[in-house]
Amino acid sequence: MKLTEYDISHPYAATVVSTERLTASGTDEIRHLVLGIPSATFNYLEGQSIGVLVPGPHPFGNENHFRLYSIANARNGEDGNMSEISICVRRCFYTDEVSGERYPGIASNYLCDAAVGQSIRITGPYGRQFMAPRDPSCNLLMMGVGTGIAPFRAFLKHIYEEHKAWKGQVRLFYGARTGLDLVYMNDQNKDIALYYDRETFKAFEALSPRPHADAPVDMASAIKSNAAEVWALLQDPKTYTYVSGLSKLEEQLDAVLAEIAGSPAAWKTLKNKLITEKRWSTLFYE
Ligand code: FAD
């Protein structure tokens, strides 16, 4: 769906409650923002996104600059009483191909610079294609990179804090450039470590082999080291698979899963089956 097709006609005024850098200085800046929301009117589920409207004037005459951010908490709110929502934002920059100049991304810099108490207009929630199963005997296989961890944090909070008796197996493969960039799993914030003692949960890290040369995260090795379990989960009709983050992750996953499946054709057949059965969901962005 194109950004211009989203309904932004009913914005809500949210207030920045806190803003915390999740990555050490010297690496990419990713922040955890908690926004106060008018509780009763803003209901959402794990896996959905909010829209952020950055007021103009903007370069191409747009009144608002509109971008999407995944909700990083479960449906009962970041604070547990539905009046706070959290998002995880990477400060983006892009280089103009013609001038070679480096420009800050509008919405991500607006959010990363936002001060406590600042009012932010949000819209949504959007997206119902990335939802955790309701049945607690289902397995979740989650694979993501960078800020793609946000909906998985929401799933884990829902499964282990709201649901409590989750019986299915839950696996998280999470990739980032370096260990310092593994948000919610690094020294700055260990949210996901809260679930390491759950019998049904295991998390695996995938890092870039050459972070300074911008080599992609090595998700393939992490998955290959656990090939038998991943393959068994993918065959299980109770497994729901989620892939989130940068869109180039899909190509990497297709390659490694084809290897595990024995051939690209065998993987394509299984992937199509998973898609048809709504057990393969993706949430991608550039
Ligand atoms: P923009 O100002 O829009 O620039 C961003 C990109 O646009 C640049 O990298 C560049 O490639 C291109 N670009 C724009 N203008 C030019 C130009 N003049 N010349 C060349 N290139 C240009 N991000 C997160 O950090 N966390 C999330 O949880 C998250 N969830 C998302 C969920 C969904 C469903 C989607 C679709 C996206 C999500 N994103 C998330 C990405 C986010 O919506 C924004 O795309 C991102 O923050 C960049 O927006 P921006 O306004 O800062 O940058």
Residue 89 CA: nearest ligand 1 atom is 25
Average confidence (pLDDT) over 239-245:
97
10 Å Cβ neighbour count for 136? 13
Consecutive H or E run containing 224? helix 219-224
What's the gap in Å between 286 CA and the centre of ligand 1? 7
Contact 120, 114 (CB under 8 A): yes
The mean pLDDT of 183-204, rounded to a whole number, is 90
What average pLDDT does this structure show over 58-86? Answer: 92
User: pTM above 0.75?
Assistant: yes
pLDDT tens string 39-56? 667 899 999 999 999 998
* Predicted pLDDT at 40: 66
Answer whether 6's CB lies under 8 Å from 123's CB: yes
pLDDT tens figures, 200-233:
999 999 998 888 888 888 999 999 999 999 999 9
Say whether 217 sits in a helix, a strand or coil. coil
Mean predicted confidence (pLDDT) in 4-25: 94
> Which residue owns the Cα nearest ligand 1 atom 45?
67
- List, in order, residues 6 or more apart from 190 with CB less than 8 Å away: 184
- How far away, in angstroms, is 4 Cα from ligand 1 center? 14
Residue 32: phi, psi to the nearest 5? -105, 115
pLDDT at 236: 97
Residue 260 pLDDT > 90, yes or no?
yes
What mean pLDDT do residues 160-178 have?
A: 92
Model confidence band, residue 1 (pLDDT cutoffs 50, 70, 90): confident
Work out the average pLDDT over 49-66.
Answer: 90
- Which residues approach ligand 1 with their CB closer than 6 A? 49, 65, 67-70, 87-90, 92, 94, 96, 105-109, 147, 150, 283, 285-286
Q: What is the pLDDT of residue 157?
A: 95
pLDDT at 286: 80
